[in-house]
């Protein structure tokens, strides 16, 4: 296969869905913690989430600023495949509307941090730029 064909969409390995036990509070019928499933986003999806996380300029002439907490919550929600955070019944059980609010309500701070860490890892944000440069050199 020529090197250019390796970049054709049909030849690219699909992004994997990874599992992470976010909390030991969500127990399955077997008595074991239920893992969450997390997927990687495309850059197009990421760009949309960044735009949706922008705070309007405070003063005329200022550039809009990204709200980091809002952005991370949106990336987490978009990356979680299971449980279905957009499920109305699940949201209702916690008395919230919206997937981002659901995450904040259902997870403890450390659990939320564990989820966000895994989401960043799956999306490639866990690697230092220098690591990537060294990898490309080799």
Distance CA 13, CA 120 (A): 19
Taking alpha carbons only, the member of 14, 41, 30, 23 closest to residue 83 is 23
For 127-136, the CB contacts below 8 A with 24+ separation are none
Fold of 17-127: rbstp2171 (3.30.2220)
Per-residue pLDDT tens digits for 44-65: 999 999 999 998 878 887 778 8
Res 103 pLDDT > 90: yes
Whether the predicted model's global pTM rises above the 0.85 cut = no
DSSP one-letter string for 86-106: T-HHHHHHTT--SHHHHHHHH
User: Measured between alpha carbons, how far is residue 102 from residues 57, 74, 77, 82 in Å?
Assistant: 28, 12, 9, 13
Domain ranges of the chain: 17-127
């Amino acid at each position: 296969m020529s090197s250019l064909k390796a970049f054709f969409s049909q030849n690219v390995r699909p992004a994997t869905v990874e599992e992470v036990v976010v909390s030991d509070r969500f127990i399955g019928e077997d008595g074991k913690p239920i893992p969450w499933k997390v997927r990687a986003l495309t850059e197009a999806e990421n760009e949309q989430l960044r735009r949706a996380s922008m705070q309007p300029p405070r003063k005329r002439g200022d550039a809009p600023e990204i709200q980091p907490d809002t952005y991370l919550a949106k990336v987490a929600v978009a990356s979680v495949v299971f449980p279905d955070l957009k499920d109305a019944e699940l949201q209702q059980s916690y008395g919230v509307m919206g997937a981002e609010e659901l995450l904040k309500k259902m997870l403890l701070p450390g659990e939320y941090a564990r989820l966000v860490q895994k989401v960043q890892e799956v999306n490639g944000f866990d690697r230092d730029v220098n690591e990537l440069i060294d990898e490309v050199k080799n």
